[in-house]
Amino acid sequence: MKNVVVFTGSGISAESGIQTFRDAVDGLWNNYVIDEVATPQGWRNDKEKLLRFYNERREQLLYVEPNAGHYSLAKLEAKCNVTVVTQNVDDLHERAGSKNIIHLHGELTKVRSTVNPSLIYDWSYKQLNLGDKCEKGSQLRPHVVWFNEKLNDEDVNLALNKIKEADYIVIIGTSLSVYPANEFPFYNTDYTTKYYLVDPSDFDVSMIPKRVKKFKHIKENSSTGTKKVVDEILSEN
């Protein structure tokens, strides 16, 4: 079976109704001060405000569903070894049926200890409040990677290894503007690897390393564009 790595950003979830962070019109960062709700300093300054922000994001998941793009990716697992490497913190890939998912930026449905980051708990869609503590008595925090925090080394290494082994790399709904994750899809050095980009926006092809010889931009939304890519891969396997 061929190896496929799918690298997803907020664009794949936007069609499900999840507000993106960076959209120029109604992105979340237009309505919130990043330093207050997505940094360690924000956590130190006002825990209640930060918890409220993520409680709102978590509650939103109750009212959205995976879209056709998510379901198309799950369908791909019938004939290929598929790993989804996502920058998203929602659970829509899981709910659509994808099995192998690496969340580079954490997960909204999990929380972790502030004294021991390895103590991670499934939290589902519940509210997280001041006074909710881990087994060691420390306040719990959202299990997301904030600005000025490192990505988890184990997740990074696993993602890069999967990318290096990939026969196909599919990039969906991301501007490839967030370092260092934006460089991940291009860690593959095999010139035979096929790359697909699914995104309705124009794309600066100068961002693609010269060693990438097979690259196709599907200039469509996730739901329709992803299906086209999946159908093409399945037809070859």
Q: Using one digit for the tens of pLDDT, what is the confidence trace for 114-148?
A: 999 999 999 999 999 999 999 999 999 999 999 99
Distances (CA, A) of 211 to 36, 186, 193, 208: 41, 9, 10, 8
Mean pLDDT of the chain: 91
Its pTM stands at 0.92
Please say whether the beta carbons of 76 and 230 come within 8 A.
Answer: yes
Superfamily grouping for domain 19-63+111-144 = SIR2/SIRT2 'Small Domain' (3.30.1600.10)
Out of 47-51, 179-183, 196-200, 211-215, which region has the weakest mean confidence (pLDDT)?
Answer: 179-183
Residue range(s) of every CATH 3.30.1600.10 domain in the chain:
19-63+111-144
Q: Catalytic annotation on 103?
A: no
Amino acid at 145: V
Exactly one of 70, 93, 103, 105 is catalytic; name it: 105
Calculate helix-pair angle for 68-76, 222-235, nearest 10 degrees. 20
Question: Strand 81-86 vs strand 168-172: parallel, antiparallel, or unpaired?
Answer: unpaired
**Structural fold of domain 1-18+66-105+151-237:** Rossmann fold (3.40.50)
Q: What 3-state class would DSSP assign to 79?
A: coil
